[in-house]
Every structure is written in C-alpha cells, then in structure tokens.
C-alpha cells in the first residue's frame, strides 16, 4: 500500500504541467475547490504561523474584473477558478490563534508558548524578514495547492504577470498582505508547451 501511495504521489508530481488553455465550459465545484484549498493549508510554515491567505476568483464577474489586472491573459477567464496567493506580512499576529489551543489541550505549556512568542516578536521587528517569510511560506502553500489540484484531476498554472497595486486596490486587499502569484485552475484543452528540466547533477552540489 505504501508503494502504491508513493507511486501515485510521484505520478501526480511528474504529470503536473503549467496549463494556459482551459475548457471554459468546465465549472469547478465549491466542494472540490475547498478541498484543494484545505490541502494547501497543510503546507509547512515557519513557527506554524501559516503565512497565507487565498483570494478566490470563481465567478465569471470576478474573473472579468481580474482580467485587465493580469494583462488580459485569457487563462484568467477561461479557467474554472483563479486563486490569488497572498503572503502575510504580519503573521506574528497568528501566534495566539496557533498556540493557545495547544496550551488549552495540554500539548504545550504556557511557558513554552511565551518563549516562542518572544522569538516570533523579535523576528518580526525586522521588516525584511517579515516580507521574506511571507513570500517563502506562502509559496509552499501555492505549490501544495497545485499538486492537490492535479491529484483531483484539475490542471493549473502559476502566474507572476499581474499588476500588484491594481489587484490590491480593486479587491481591497489589506496592507497586511502582499500578493505573490495567481494560480489558474481548470481542465486543459491543449497540452502544455514542451519543456525540459536540467538534470539533478546540474542543479545540486553533493557534499
């Protein structure tokens, strides 16, 4: 059974490609989309602060508003949904919501919680750290989201080409969050562009 699960996971990873052309007649259910997002929230994060927020564009109206902000890339309106991945610049505010339930359940002492809170508070005095952490940790959730989508037979594409300031203004994104990427989700009507990957020996140094 373990071997089967491993093979299934590796198959999902190896078959995931960036799809830019979708069947616009395909609608994704709220249930499927919620399950995909829930899987994304299982991604690891520094201090388990869960530095992500998802802006979900599912309605045709919302995707039409997003279209010019994403430089009129047709995948925005042809896909079944688009998820804007936002990174939390103030993830330190999640300290109590994350750790207090553990204290209440007896899994952590209040002393340990306060020690962790002190470390987190200290780190977040540095705005560069806060921004770096928002990008790196939310990106982990983004990748997990795309793998979860593929596991449920949906295709996806990470999109870096969009106007960050316009996105924040049009959709009233709080200054707490920094937009990192858009992810289109749907069913492919055309295969991905042919691409290749550099070999492991080209991208790794073994010590």
**Domain of 58: which CATH number?**
3.40.109.10
Whether 188 is covered by a domain: the verdict is yes
Domain encompassing residue 58: 16-45+52-89+130-192
Whether 67 is covered by a domain: the verdict is yes
3-state secondary structure of 57: strand
Burial-class residue 58 by CB neighbours within 10 Å (0-12, 13-18, 19+): middle
Count of domains observed in the chain: 1
β pairing state of 155-159 and 52-57? unpaired
Whether 117 is covered by a domain: the verdict is no
| Count of all residues that appear for the chain in the document | 207
- Residue-level pLDDT, tens digit, the chain, 207 residues: 577 767 799 999 999 999 999 999 999 999 999 999 999 999 999 999 999 999 999 999 999 999 999 999 999 999 999 999 999 999 999 999 999 999 999 999 999 999 999 999 999 999 999 999 999 999 999 999 999 999 999 999 999 999 999 999 999 999 999 999 999 999 999 888 888 899 999 999 999
Whether 74 is covered by a domain: the verdict is yes
Q: Nearest CA to 158 among 189, 202, 200, 192?
A: 192
β pairing state of 177-186 and 81-88? antiparallel
């Amino acid at each position: 059974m373990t071997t089967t699960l491993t093979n299934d996971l590796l198959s999902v990873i190896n078959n995931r490609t960036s799809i830019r052309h979708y069947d616009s007649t395909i609608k994704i259910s709220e249930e499927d989309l919620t399950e995909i997002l829930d899987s994304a929230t299982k991604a690891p994060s520094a201090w388990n602060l869960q530095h992500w927020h998802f802006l979900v564009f599912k309605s045709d109206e919302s995707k039409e508003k997003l279209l010019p902000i994403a430089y009129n890339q047709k995948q925005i309106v042809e896909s079944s949904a688009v998820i804007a991945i936002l990174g939390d610049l103030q993830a330190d505010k999640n300290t109590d919501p994350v750790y207090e339930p553990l204290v209440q359940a007896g899994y952590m002492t209040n002393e340990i919680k306060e020690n962790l809170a002190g470390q987190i508070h200290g780190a977040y005095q540095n705005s560069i750290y806060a921004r770096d952490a928002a990008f790196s940790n939310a990106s982990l959730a983004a990748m997990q989201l795309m793998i979860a989508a593929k596991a449920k037979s949906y295709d996806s594409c990470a999109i870096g080409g969009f106007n960050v300031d316009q996105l924040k203004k049009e959709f009233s994104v709080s200054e707490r969050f920094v937009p990192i990427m858009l992810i289109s989700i749907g069913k492919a009507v055309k295969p991905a562009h042919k691409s290749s990957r550099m070999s492991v020996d080209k991208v790794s140094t073994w010590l």
